[in-house]
A and B are shown apart, each in its own frame.
Chain A
Amino acid sequence: MTPAISIRHLSKVFPVPFRRERVVAVEDLSLEVAPGQVYGLLGPNGSGKSTTMKMVLGLVPPTRGQVEVFGVDADRVESRVAVGFLPENPYFQKFLTGTETVAFFGRLAGVPKRDLRDRARELLRLVGLEEAADRRLSGYSKGMLQRIGLAQALVQEPRLLVLDEPTAGVDPAGSRDIKDLILKFKDRGITVLLCSHLLAQVQEICDRIGILHRGRLVCEGPLAELIEKRAQTELVLENAPAGLLAEIEAAVGRHEGARLLHRRHPQASLEEFFLTVTGDEKKP
């Protein structure tokens, strides 16, 4: 099957104006993102994430190597036919309404004129902006702008979504909604390339991750395998009486080499706690 993204020996070197120096932003990067996968591209600031993303979107040409999107060279405009992109802290023209913004990007993406309004309404409903559809973007909050960004990225029913810090500046409830949406996209078979600093979020939604450091891919693979502590086992018991716990501890003690590291009540994540307190906790 053709990979959604195929990156082979990709390098990007930026010359420094008026100096002989050159900055290596990405060096010999190779990776593949399979269709339907949620891939997390991680790394500290300046690690080459944004440059890699721009090369995938054809905004920056590589110095060496090749990027293909569904088998089409990323330099070619056709490669972006099925790609939706949400930049970090997206900025849209403030004088347009939500519907007009989505319709504008729909026109650029080749959505037929007769379908634009319906498509825009449908997407605004999907991202929870139905009631703000006819309001100008100048009155939108940061979280709402992020959602409108997501709506425009989805306008041509993309098969690949490139999301740069999709929850930057969004409150926990909004952040959770966006996370749920990404999981919904995954269920619909949409491939997602996600760049984020929020590691907890990446851990919750990504199938596979790649970690960039100083332009080089230092680690890559299925998330579950990479973070698994193979030498340790976790048991979570419900309503276990004190006697049973004492028996388990004793049984562990009888086996040479095995030892109980800690015993505690599992904790909710701070996000879950916050959402419960503020009343935004979703029913499973």
Chain B
Amino acid sequence: MSTAAPLPAHRLFSPARVGAIARNTLTELTRQKVFYLLLLFGLLLIGSSVLLVRFSFQDQFQMLKDISLGAMSIFGSLLAILATAAMLPRDIEERTLYTILAKPVPRVEYVLGKFLGIAGMLACALFLMGLLFLLILFVRERGVEAEMAASLSGDAAALAAQIETLRAQVFHPNLLAAGLTIFAKTCVLAALTLFVSTFATSQIFTVFIVTTAYFIGHFQATAREYWQAMGGAAWSKAFAGFVAILFPDLQIFNLVDEIAVGVAVPLALLGKTLVLGGFYVLIYLLAAQLVFAQKEL
């Protein structure tokens, strides 16, 4: 081996390296105990579907969608925050970060790979939750169909019409839009958590900061509207602007609530929400990279 030869060529950015880190992160995350939150989700859903039987079928489906989408949003957010907050401190503590960065891996690829791994885990988790939700919805819907068939046994045409209406109401394509919106929201929270963990001194601190941001993010738009309606002073407007930049406006993802109550969501509005979510993710990842690039390990 000649030691005087020039160094081999190095690619400044390699999707293969990012992919390797993302796959590794995804595998690691799916084996963590935090993933057991999915079991809680399942229990909540099955429990509520049993309790809702006493209501009229319209109310049943309405409440089931409300509970399921709300739970998907909350459990997805919890997963995003808890799993991401633990990731970087663990890699530093266990020194796996050194082994990775001692290879020719730029830090931006590490940040990106980690985020994509988390996003993959969130997609898997939400997909599983969504699947369970649809399964329970399907079982309940078949139950209601059977009840309809029993009550309208003589009138086949009326029965067919009612079943068609029922199916259209229950399995509306907007449910997919709700899933995408929840995924976008959890990705924003994961990117924010990743950013905070690059400078946080402990995991608890990261969780505390992001949880605070979560609540501020849910109320900041209302506060901003209130301040604007009050015609407040320049300082209050400036403060509202500062908060809007610093914390994600999570109210944009409240689209899910509207979908749950059956409001049709236009494609343009869904697109705008997803683009805004993507914009937040980009901003937080850039901020994470800026801090992480300077971090002394």
Give the B-binding residues of A (Cβ under 8 A).
1-2, 4, 14, 35-36, 54, 57-61, 70, 72, 77-85, 87, 89-93, 95-96, 104-105, 107-110, 113, 149, 152, 156-157, 159, 162, 188-191
What chain B residues lie within 8 Å of A152 (beta carbons)? 99
Is the pair B101, A59 in contact by a Cβ cutoff of 8 Å? yes
Which segment of B9-17, B81-89, B164-172, B279-287 sits at the interface? B9-17
Given contacts A105-B103, A109-B104, 16 further A-B contacts (CB under 8 A): A35-B3, A58-B101, A77-B12, A77-B104, A80-B103, A84-B102, A93-B24, A95-B31, A104-B24, A107-B17, A110-B10, A113-B16, A152-B99, A159-B1, A189-B1, A189-B3
Task: Kindly provide the distance from the CB of A195 to the nearest chain B CB, expressed in whole angstroms.
Answer: 13
Cα(A70)–Cα(B5), bound, Å: 9
* Bound CA span A166–B60, Å: 64
Which 7 A-B residue pairs are closest in the complex by CB-CB distance? Answer: A35-B3, A85-B102, A107-B20, A91-B94, A108-B103, A189-B1, A78-B10
- Asked if residues A60 and B102 are in contact (CB atoms below 8 Å), the reply is no
Q: Which residue from chain B places its CB closest to the CB of A59 in the assembled complex?
A: B297
Q: How far is the CA of A84 from the CA of B31 in the complex (A)?
A: 29
Asked whether, in the complex, the Cβ of A81 is within 8 Å of the Cβ of B27, the reply is no
Chain A: CB-nearest residue to B4? A1
Closest to A78 in B: B10
A78 to B103, CA, bound (A): 9
- Interface status of B95 (Cβ within 8 A of chain A): yes
Whether a CB of chain A sits under 8 angstroms from the CB of B56 is: no
Tell me if B152 is interfacial: C-beta within 8 Å of chain A. no
Residues of chain B in range 73-108 having any CB-CB distance to chain A below 8 Å: 94-96, 98-106
**Interface on chain B toward A: helix, strand, loop, or mixed SS?**
loop
Cα A14 to Cα B297 with chains together (Å): 12
- Residue among A60, A79, A92, A104 having the largest count of chain B Cβ atoms under 10 Å: A104
Q: Is the CB of A189 within 8 A of B2?
A: yes
A80 x B102 contact (CB < 8 A): yes
A159 to B4, CA, bound (A): 10
Query: Cβ of B104 and Cβ of A78 under 8 Å apart?
Result: yes
A2-B4, A107-B20 known; A92 and B103 CB under 8 Å? no
Contacts of A89 on B, CB cut-off 8 Å? 95
Contact present for B296 and A60 (CB under 8 Å): yes
The answer to whether residues A107 and B96 also contact, given A36-B3, A81-B8, A189-B2 and a CB cut-off of 8 A, is no
B21 beta carbon closer than 8 Å to chain A: yes
Q: What are 9 contact pairs spanning A and B, CB under 8 A?
A: A35-B3, A36-B3, A80-B103, A83-B102, A104-B24, A108-B17, A110-B14, A110-B104, A159-B1
Chain B proximity of A202: nearest CB distance (Å): 22
Q: Is the pair A110, B11 in contact by a Cβ cutoff of 8 Å? A: yes
B104 and A72: CB pair below 8 A? no
Residues A70 and B99 in contact in the complex (CB < 8 Å), given A95-B28, A108-B20, A189-B2? no
What A residues does B104 contact at CB under 8 A? 77-78, 80-81, 108-110
Contact B100 A108 (CB under 8 A): yes
Q: Report whether B98 and A85 are in contact in the complex, using a CB–CB cutoff of 8 Å.
A: yes
A203 CA / B102 CA spacing, docked (Å): 27
- With a 10 A CB-CB cut-off, give which of B10, B99, B106 has the most chain A CB atoms: B99
Is B7 interfacial (CB 8 A cutoff)? yes
Residues of A within 8 Å of B8, CB to CB, are 81-82, 110
C-alpha spacing A33/B92, complex, angstroms? 28
In whole angstroms, what is the CA distance A83 to B10 when docked?
A: 13
Which residues of A are found within 8 Å of B1, using beta-carbon distances?
A: 157, 159, 188-190
Q: A92: which of B2, B16, B96 is its contact (CB, 8 Å)? A: B96
Q: Is the CB of B3 within 8 A of A4?
A: yes
Please indicate the chain B residues that have their CB under 8 angstroms from the CB of A36 in the complex: 3
* A212 → B minimal CB distance (Å): 19
Q: How far is the CA of A152 from the CA of B24 in the complex (A)?
A: 15
Contact of B106 among A77, A83, A104, A105 (CB under 8 A): A77
- Chain A residue nearest in CB terms to B16: A107
- Output the nearest chain B residue to A95 by Cβ-Cβ distance: B31
Chain B positions within 8 Å of A156 at CB level: 103
Q: Which residues of A contact B27 (CB under 8 A)?
A: 93, 95-96
Beta-carbon contact of B102 and A159 below 8 Å: no
CA distance A25 to B106 in the complex (A): 25
Closest Cβ of chain B to A49, distance in Å, is: 14
B4→A105 contact, CB < 8 A? no
